[in-house]
Chains A and B, each alone.
Chain A
Amino acid sequence: AQTVTQSQPEMSVQEAETVTLSCTYDTSESNYYLFWYKQPPSRQMILVIRQEAYKQQNATENRFSVNFQKAAKSFSLKISDSQLGDTAMYFCAFMKRNTGNQFYFGTGTSLTVIP
């Protein structure tokens, strides 16, 4: 079975600063994808960034970037120039691609951006 671990239940960052959220996963699969999803307070979950496991280059989306270490099974999210709107729960997710596109989520990290 696949497991996704987020070891930081809560984090805070000053506005305009940089913060890194950690995620590790355990799998025997070779063909998979990793995601970070954001869930703002009382709002629906949206995709932040995704990474294909076969790609060595780290994904970036504007202020969001990942550090993907496949051998270490680590997938951290870096948020640069943090904004108040970044305050949310962040979930790391794993999807295996052999059959069924099944997704597995971590327990989340609650990020608060302090003005």
Chain B
Amino acid sequence: EAGVAQSPRYKIIEKRQSVAFWCNPISGHATLYWYQQILGQGPKLLIQFQNNGVVDDSQLPKDRFSAERLKGVDSTLKIQPAKLEDSAVYLCASSSLALFGRNSGANVLTFGAGSRLTVL
């Protein structure tokens, strides 16, 4: 199966500019996650979607970050205006709520390659 697709892979912007990241999850995966990973740290959940509804956005800085998943498939994450501290890798992941067990076969949470943002 195709993996989680993300673009762009790299983006460099000046502070106060805007940027958008795109994610296409694995086909059929109902749950989509956006994580922020600052260098040397673990992923921090920004927002979680179940189909096109928001499950958790408690750590999303809503004054500058927004995300949508209009048709329950692709998702975009936008930052406007960007700050220096937004420099990070933005990871998209998806999950199928697959049953566990020896024969389930699939990863529960599958990550994309990430989008690396540098804010100057």
* B75 is an interface residue with CB less than 8 A from chain A: no
Q: Are A101 and B42 in contact (CB under 8 A)?
A: no
A-B contact pairs, 10 of them (CB 8 A): A6-B42, A99-B55, A100-B48, A102-B48, A103-B33, A104-B45, A105-B35, A105-B42, A107-B41, A108-B40
Q: Which residues of A contact B (CB under 8 A)?
A: 4, 6, 33, 35, 37, 43-47, 50, 52, 91, 93, 95, 99-108
Please tell me which one of the listed residues A46, A99, A106, A107 contacts residue B111 in the complex, with CB atoms under 8 A apart: A46
Main secondary structure of the interface of A (DSSP, over half): strand
Please tell me which one of the listed residues A47, A52, A106, A107 contacts residue B100 in the complex, with CB atoms under 8 A apart: A52
Minimum C-beta distance from B36 to chain A (A): 11
Nearest first, the 10 closest Cβ-Cβ pairs linking A and B are A105-B42, A45-B111, A100-B55, A47-B107, A44-B113, A107-B42, A105-B43, A108-B42, A44-B111, A106-B42
Q: Are B42 and A33 in contact (CB under 8 A)?
A: no
Chain A residues lying within 8 Å of B87, measured Cβ to Cβ, are none
A6 to B41, CA, bound (A): 11
With A33-B100, A45-B91, A108-B41 already in contact, the answer to whether A101 and B111 are too (CB < 8 A) is no
